[in-house]
Amino acid sequence: MPAKDSSVKPSWPKPAEFAVLFGVFAAILAVCLSLFFLPKQSASYAEVVLKGNKLYTLSLAEETSMEIPTDHGHVHVVVRGGGVAVTSSPCHSQFCVHQGFKYQVGESVVCLPEGVAVYLVSYGEIGEIDA
Amino acid sequence: MKLDAYGILGAALLLVLLLLGFALLDLSQSDARKVARQGVLLALALVLGLLESFLPDVLLPGMRLGLANIALLLVLYVYGAREGFVVAVLKAVLGSMLRGSMFSMGGLMALTGTMAAFIGMALLHALWKKCSPIGVSVFGALLHVSGQMLIAYLYLGVAVLGYWPWLLLVSVLTGSVTGLVALLLLRNKALMRYLRP
């Protein structure tokens, strides 16, 4: 009978491995839940970034609408009711459009295929604002 | 075809990885049958990667099961890290070519994710021999997502970081599934007789 090649046939996870996997999952879950449930500050401004370059800093107190030109068309950004949203995009998934309006500090709307990101900040995080 | 800075960076990285991969291979010891079997696993990785693009997203937009990682795990466990490295690079290259995203930011993200995942899996497999394919696969999935998130961060800035914990959470689940499938395949005697002629 040929000898078994134990280096090829792996075994089922041992208790130590299960413990590590569970610990990793629990830690990540704790971070996610804290991000979801912790109270957040209402944002004052939205930074619009195109391929890493900041284009605009929009005040959420003023309703506005703008078209961001991208390689495949235009991404439409709207500020309304103290929040910001992407209302149209030429991307295939439309994930950015389905995100809806964002209102709180740290939230963002990202359209990766078009390279557009809208990130919400508070007044204290803004340097010099153009009047 | 537009070639931006990320595309050029991706092409340069690809060239370096290919050269490194072929330098690592000891072709004087290669068995033609073994190389052919590795080619079959490479084709399997490519087909699985294409197929899952037609499947719906896993809980989060853009999140995939990572089925191609099953083939990479088989190569790693059956043939070793050197051969697995070459298969991983070829999978990243050919997969990007098939999707039409080779010299673009998307191609760079795929390449970074695949290589980060494979190098991490190979290191874990070498350092913790008792770790099962499930643990190795989960580690690879976490690194895959993190590698892609790094490129996205360099591309779009801090705005993308809010998605990272959620992507990590889902990748633990997807990595467990693909690792389980790989473990069951590695314990299949008939398949192992075919892969190791």
The pLDDT, as a whole number, for residue A7 is: 47
Q: Say which of A12, A51, A110 has its CB closest to residue B160.
A: A110
> Which residues partner with B94 through β-bridges?
none
Task: Give the pLDDT confidence of B65-101 residue by residue, as tens digits.
Answer: 899 999 999 999 999 998 899 899 899 888 888 877 7
Is a pLDDT exceeding 80 seen at residue B25?
A: no
Determine what percent of chain A is predicted with pLDDT higher than 70: 88
Test the B interface: residue of A17, A89, A109 with most B CBs within 10 Å:
A17
Q: Would you state the pLDDT for residue A38?
A: 87
Say if the ipTM goes beyond 0.90: no
Angle at B179 between CA B173 and CA B184, to 5 degrees: 130
Instruction: Nearest chain B residue to A55 by CA: give it.
Output: B156
Q: State how far Cα B35 lies from the chain centre.
A: 19
pLDDT value of position A110:
92
Region of residue A94 (phi > 0: left; psi between -120 and 50: alpha; otherwise: beta) = left
Q: Would you say residue A123 has pLDDT above 80?
A: no
User: What pLDDT, on a 0 to 100 scale, did the predictor assign at position A1?
Assistant: 39
Mean pLDDT estimate for chain B: 86
First to last CA, chain A: 85
Taking a C-beta distance cutoff of 8 angstroms, is the pair B66, B178 a contact?
yes
Interface check for B20 against chain A (CB to CB < 8 A): the answer is: no
- For the whole model, what pTM was predicted? 0.85
A130 pLDDT more than 80: no
pLDDT in tens, A39-59: 888 999 999 999 888 999 999
Q: Which tokens hold the place of A56?
A: 């605009």
Report phi then psi at A71, rounded to 5.
Answer: -65, -25
Number of A–B residue contacts, CB under 8 Å: 97
The whole-number pLDDT of residue A127 equals 52
Residues of A in contact with B181 (CB under 8 A): none
Instruction: Measure A38 CA to nearest chain B CA, in Å.
Output: 14
| B159, B169, B187 ranked by CB distance to A110: nearest | B159
Q: Which residues of A touch B (CB under 8 A)?
A: 5, 8-14, 16-17, 20-21, 24-25, 28-29, 31-32, 35, 47, 49, 51-52, 71, 93, 95, 98, 106-110, 112-113, 115-119
- Cβ–Cβ below 8 Å for A49 and B156: yes
Q: Residue B187: its chain A contacts at CB < 8 A?
A: 9-10
C-alpha to C-alpha distance for B75 and B69, rounded to whole angstroms: 10
Our separate counts of H helices and E strands in chain A read: 2, 7
- Is the pLDDT confidence value at B33 over 90? no
Residue A21 has pLDDT above 50, yes or no: yes
Name residue, tokens 């090649």.
A5
pLDDT, average across residues B115-125: 95
**CB contact at 8 A, A81 and A58:** no
- DSSP-assigned letter for residue A104: B
